[in-house]
């Protein structure tokens, strides 16, 4: 059986730990590899290697660091198909979707190729008599990222791309469910010319997460996962004196106004709700038609579109989506379907018990649609993270606006309309961090920034873009004067700019 090892500088890849976990092929349900978990001693070795390598990397001028980023970007393009196929085999998403996973990470690396410009500080000449003031952005040192299973290429690159471009050394702990692509990314980065010790990969579960959060030589941690764990990571990391950003769960809403193009809405909804088997924090699992007429017309178009979706193995080029990641997650999603029905919602399309001929042991869940879901239902309040779409009917615009604004999560939201005033009003007033206007999955491009509100994010800084540069650097401000003569009595008075 294939063994997946850590990537720690100065070791052969093995680990002193005897703990391990199985890595499954979600399309077949079979174990395809064994992951050797790293130990706290392995983490200590990784951090020691990072501390040794980081000062030299930070002292490398930004243009030379950018050249490594450029070479890494090219290697990502050259290996796109192989990375997507490997990713799909462990996650379960179809290969086309896996290719998008790699591509969105690659776009952050493209942004990082401009690090000589974006890491520049500020300068003020003549802030006072003979006084200049300037600031510089310097790396934190050794930093870490803890990434989820649902985007094993994109989210690691969201984190380690800006961190490394800014001069830090990075310790990555990917999900133990699909760890092969993160390891391969680190190998490609080394091939691009990244010095040994600047990007290392350790594996594990909560034991390794806690070791990272408690390690005194790790200065900053980025996390993406469920909200409860994000809150835990944030609190424990901050108590340990670290800078922490922790992105949590979501329950994104799609508001459908009466004037919306319903054919386009249905096309967008089926992709946003069921793509990647709904295992996206920016999926669109709740649709809010405004007015009963809109709801009835939307439902009439949605049902046949959902029933026409093709669920298949990850390598099926005709499939719209594949299996969920594990048997346990399949059971969890099906339990939520049962719970929603018990709460009184109308189960219009039931995806439970889906079986794919020849792959009966795969972790498949069919597309599911509920209507007449209400805000008091637990299945509405919580994140299901599966191929389940809930219709919550709203009588008017104000009610529709209120639903995502009052929800505990505030990651993303979308409005579908031809009315510019309604769209502008919605975008300005909705209490959510990322807004799409006729865009179902409003993940910002790499030179903007990603981040939700409320229980979707803990910490004050978003992912990638300039927010990422700010998170992975410290600002140092210098006030300088080159006097003509002696200090005199003014040396004992607080400096002013008068």
Beta-bridged to residue 246, according to DSSP, are 223, 458
Q: Residue 402: is it exposed, middle or buried by C-beta count within 10 angstroms (0-12/13-18/19+)?
A: middle
DSSP characters for 296-333?
Answer: HHHHHHHHHHHHT--B--TT-TT-SB---S-HHHHHHH
Decide: 321 and 379 in contact? Cβ < 8 Å.
Answer: no
CB 132 within 8 A of CB 121: no
Pick the catalytic residue from 112, 113, 166, 281: 281
Spatial distance between the Cα atoms of 45 and 43, rounded to a whole number of angstroms: 5
Locate the DSSP E strands across 363-438: 368-371, 388-391, 409-410, 412-416, 434-437
Question: CA-based angle 467:473:477, to the nearest 5?
Answer: 110
What is the b/e burial string over 169-180, where b = at least 16 CB atoms within 10 angstroms of the residue's CB?
bbbbbbbbbbbb
Q: What tokens were used for 353?
A: 């018990």
Strands 412-416 and 253-256 come out as: parallel
Q: To the nearest 10°, the Cα dihedral for 55, 56, 60, 65?
A: -90
Separation of alpha carbons 203 and 370, rounded Å: 38
CA-angle at 135, arms to 130 and 141, nearest 5° = 145
- Residue ranges with strand state E in 26-72: 30-36
Tokens of 159: 């984190």
Q: Are 441 and 462 in contact (CB under 8 A)?
A: no
Query: 291 by DSSP, 3-state: which?
Result: coil
**Residue 113 designated active-site:** no
The strand pair at 20-25 and 30-36 is best described as: antiparallel
Distance separating alpha carbons of residues 465 and 133, to the nearest angstrom: 26
Three-state DSSP class for 412? strand
Instruction: Give me 472's structure tokens.
Output: 């992975």
Distance CA 108, CA 443 (A): 12
Active-site residues: which are they? 281
């Amino acid at each position: 059986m294939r063994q997946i090892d850590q990537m720690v500088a100065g070791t052969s890849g093995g680990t002193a730990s005897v703990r391990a976990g199985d890595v499954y092929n979600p399309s077949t349900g079979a174990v395809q590899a064994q992951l050797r978990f790293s130990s706290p001693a392995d983490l200590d070795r990784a951090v020691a290697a990072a501390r040794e390598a980081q000062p030299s990397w930070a002292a490398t001028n930004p243009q030379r660091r950018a050249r490594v980023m450029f070479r890494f970007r090219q290697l990502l393009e050259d290996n796109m198909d192989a990375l997507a196929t490997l990713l799909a085999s462990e996650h379960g998403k179809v290969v086309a979707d896996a290719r998008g996973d790699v591509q969105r990470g690659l776009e952050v690396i493209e942004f990082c190729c401009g690090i000589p410009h974006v890491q520049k500080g500020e300068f003020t000449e003549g802030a006072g008599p003979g006084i200049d003031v300037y600031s510089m952005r310097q790396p934190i040192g050794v930093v870490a990222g803890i990434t989820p299973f649902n985007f094993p290429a994109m989210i690691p690159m969201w984190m380690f791309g800006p961190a490394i471009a800014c001069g830090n050394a990075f310790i990555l702990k990917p999900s133990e469910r699909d760890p092969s692509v993160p390891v391969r990314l680190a190998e490609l980065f080394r091939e691009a010319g990244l010095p040994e010790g600047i990007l290392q990969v350790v594996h594990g579960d909560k034991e390794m997460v806690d070791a990272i959060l408690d390690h005194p030589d790790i200065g900053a941690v980025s996390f993406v996962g469920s909200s409860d764990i994000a809150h835990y990571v944030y609190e424990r990391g901050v108590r340990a004196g670290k800078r922490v950003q922790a992105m949590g769960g979501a329950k994104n809403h799609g508001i459908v106004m009466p004037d919306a193009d319903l054919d386009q809405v249905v096309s967008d909804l089926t992709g946003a709700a069921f793509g990647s088997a709904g295992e996206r924090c920016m999926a669109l699992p709740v649709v809010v038609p405004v007015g009963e007429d809109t709801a009835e017309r939307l439902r009439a178009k949605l049902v046949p579109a959902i029933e026409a979706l093709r669920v298949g193995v990850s390598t099926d080029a005709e499939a719209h989506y594949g299996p969920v990641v594990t048997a346990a997650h399949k059971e969890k999603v099906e339990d939520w379907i049962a719970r929603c029905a018990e709460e009184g919602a109308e189960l219009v399309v039931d995806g439970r018990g889906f079986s794919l001929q020849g792959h009966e042991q795969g972790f498949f869940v069919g597309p599911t649609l509920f209507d007449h879901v209400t805000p008091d239902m637990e299945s509405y309040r919580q994140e299901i993270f599966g191929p389940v779409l809930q219709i919550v009917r709203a009588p008017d615009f104000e009610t529709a606006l209120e639903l995502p604004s009052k929800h505990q999560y505030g990651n993303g939201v979308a409005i579908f309309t031809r009315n510019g005033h309604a769209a502008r009003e919605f975008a300005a007033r909705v209490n959510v961090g990322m807004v799409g206007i006729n865009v179902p999955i409003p993940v910002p491009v790499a030179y903007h920034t990603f981040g939700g509100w409320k229980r979707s994010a803990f910490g004050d800084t978003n992912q990638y873009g300039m927010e990422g540069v700010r998170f992975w650097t410290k600002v140092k401000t210098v006030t300088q004067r080159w006097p003509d003569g002696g200090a005199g009595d003014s040396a004992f008075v607080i400096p002013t700019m008068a």
